[in-house]
Amino acid sequence: MQFVFGIDVSCDSVTVAVASDEHTLLREYKINSDKAGFSRLLKDLRSVNHPQIIYESTGVYSRRVRTFLIHQGYDFVELNPLQAKLDLTENFRRKKTDRNDARDLACSQYIRNRLTTVQEKPVYLDLRDNERFYQQLTRDDVRKEDQLERVIQVVFPGVQRIYSDKYGQNLYETLQLFPNPDLVLKESLDSLTNKLQAGLSKRLGKKRCRDYAQRLINAAKAAYPAVDSSSCMLHQMQFYCQSLLEIEQERDQIINQMVAEAKAAKLPELEIYQSVPGIGLTTAICLTAELGDLHRFSSPSKINAYIGIDLVVYESGNYTGHRRITKHGNQYARKILFRTIDNILAATKTHPCHIADYYRRRKKESSKSPEKVTKKIHIAAMARLLRTIYHLVLHNQKYNYEIAISH
């Protein structure tokens, strides 16, 4: 007899339902998501032979259940929330409660007979956690830049134009030293040059620092700030600059840590992805983290669904709607791949790539307006890139343009 354990996961507790067939529920109970609760679940799992286990993925809450099952050596079915909703609504779900969800998950397994989830190596999960933190810091960086921009307009308008990179380490460190025009104009050109040369982390020559000092003086003379040097907003300026410097430093450390971890685990994806023109080290390690082990996918179309670029079509009678992507998958991987296409297009001037050839050919053949067609071609190019790297990873090969255009 095959027993199925349906598990519904919430914040602090787990509801378990054990079924012997699609109509027979043997028992159900609720446990806390702690050592005592998992010990009880383990005892129940060990009381039967080869139990099937199914639960709905609920982000961070289901991570503890997944880790517990892996540590105990059990296979399991981790069900996508959208798929769970479709499956259970169609056949079972009438009233949504934790008990009903656990019971329906267990009973539906006899009908659906879903395959067990392929378990990735722990290194991929660790890389993904780090990559998500990296993306969070990137969003924080953008938000802090917007906040700094608003303060600059009040305290020192125009100062962001003295450096070639409008926002960057040099500007942040300069504003920590001189957050207001009045403070700049108190210094002589020689004094300002020396303080910039000593205060900037990037080691710059005397001549360049003098040039920046002169630009800073010119910006201070031209500026008409809304507050003077005694305003509390100067502290806000310095706070945002310090925050941005710390965020940038942390982001660099994360990438270095991820690369070291991938190399220590001898993951081939890092070098394979970097062999594609336009994919640098940061993009390669982020793709490795978000796509994970590509061997767990049976075809490139499965990867398309995983990142949410699989197409859906609405048809009714003689009417056929426009095709669109589902956007139901891994949004982090989708965004990285979207930017990757831009990088490939930029790099193709010196490093040819069949993805860029395909993109430009499709754009040239299209009769629609550039705005409407660009995004669709981007998606198509992403799908083609996924097919390419899927083939390369499965055959442990690096990218070769001549071979790519011959297929």
288 contact partners, CB below 8 Å, separation of at least 6 = 124, 127, 262, 267, 269, 270, 273
Q: Where are the domains of the chain?
A: 4-112, 126-259, 268-406
Q: Taking each helix axis as running N to C, give the angle between helix 98-112 and helix 81-91, from 0 to 180 degrees, rounded to the nearest 10.
A: 80
First to last CA, the chain: 50
Summarised one tens digit per residue, pLDDT across range 128-167 is 999 999 999 999 999 999 999 999 999 999 999 999 888 8
Nearest to 322 by CA among 285, 397, 376: 376
Give pTM, 2 decimals.
0.87
For residue 372, the Cα-to-chain-centroid distance in whole angstroms is: 26
* CATH code for the part of the protein at 126-259: 1.10.287
Question: Per-residue pLDDT for 318 more than 60?
Answer: no
Summarised one tens digit per residue, pLDDT across range 185-213 is 999 999 999 999 999 988 889 999 999 99
What average pLDDT does range 245-273 have in this prediction?
96
Per the CATH hierarchy, to which homologous superfamily does domain 4-112 belong?
Ribonuclease H-like superfamily/Ribonuclease H (3.30.420.10)
| pLDDT of res. 202 | 87
What average pLDDT does range 63-73 have in this prediction?
94
